[in-house]
Amino acid sequence: MSQKKILLLGANNPEVARIISCMDQDKRSQFAGYIDNAPQKKGQLFYGLPVLGGFEILPQLDPTEYKFVNLITRDCITRHQTTLSMSRFGFEMTNFIHPGLDTGMVTLGEGLYLQGAAILQAEVVLANNVSISAGAIVGHETHIGESSFLAPGVTVSGCVNIACGVFIGSGASIVPRVSIGDWSIIGAGSVITRDVSAGAVMVGNPARILRMQDIPEF
């Protein structure tokens, strides 16, 4: 059976093209193109790969011939929802990981989008659909839950438990051995010094609760 082609969900970030360019030729040839719901992008090339269309074209694609990775990181709810939508059409997730990233002694889920220059220390565990940007540091024995996102320059100390759907903004820092609850948001530059409740929006140094938001149901 031939290898499945890869659909890239979200044609927005040119860094994706640079990651692909770092791969060997066999891996580069696997990428079929982008799925993006912006109608003006359909039929265009995005850094050399075609934008095939939005979710409206998915019934025309055979899930036995394609798998996908979600590149959407603007918020974790959208990331999770769009991943669920692709899965409901029958498409399986796959990983999109910069080839220079050291993942030794790291437990990897499926559907990961991991950029270059991130550091994942020993015994880190990543659940499905996690995205980690360039320059983020994840300390030893940290667990990161499904559909969570770490922006550039985030520093997570060791033995931290990050639950599902957590958005951590650029340059935020988290001290060791704290827990971050489901669907919380850590603002850019914030410093987390204590446990964070599910649904909390945290800002500042040390971070304080700005507001609480409803926990989504899927």
Alpha-carbon distance of 154 to 158, in angstroms, equals 13
Q: Do domains 5-94 and 97-205 have the same CATH topology?
A: no
In the residue annotation, 80 being an active-site residue is answered as no
Alpha-carbon distance of 165 to 3, in angstroms, equals 31
In this structure, are residues 71 and 9 in contact, taking their beta carbons and an 8 Å threshold?
Answer: yes
Residue extents of the structural domains in the chain? 5-94, 97-205
Q: Which of helix, strand or coil describes residue 21?
A: helix
Q: Could you name the CATH architecture of 5-94?
A: 3-Layer(aba) Sandwich (3.40)
The tens place of each residue's pLDDT in the chain, 218 residues long, gives: 468 999 999 999 999 999 999 999 989 999 999 999 999 999 999 999 999 999 999 999 999 999 999 999 999 999 999 999 999 999 999 999 999 999 999 999 999 999 999 999 999 999 999 999 999 999 999 999 999 999 999 999 999 999 999 999 999 999 999 999 999 999 999 999 999 999 999 999 999 999 999 999 88
Helix (H) or strand (E) holding 82: helix 76-88
In this structure, which amino acid lies at residue 148? S
Q: Which of 80, 98, 140, 143 is catalytic?
A: 140
* Domain spanning 97-205, CATH class: mainly beta
Q: Which of helix, strand or coil describes residue 96?
A: strand
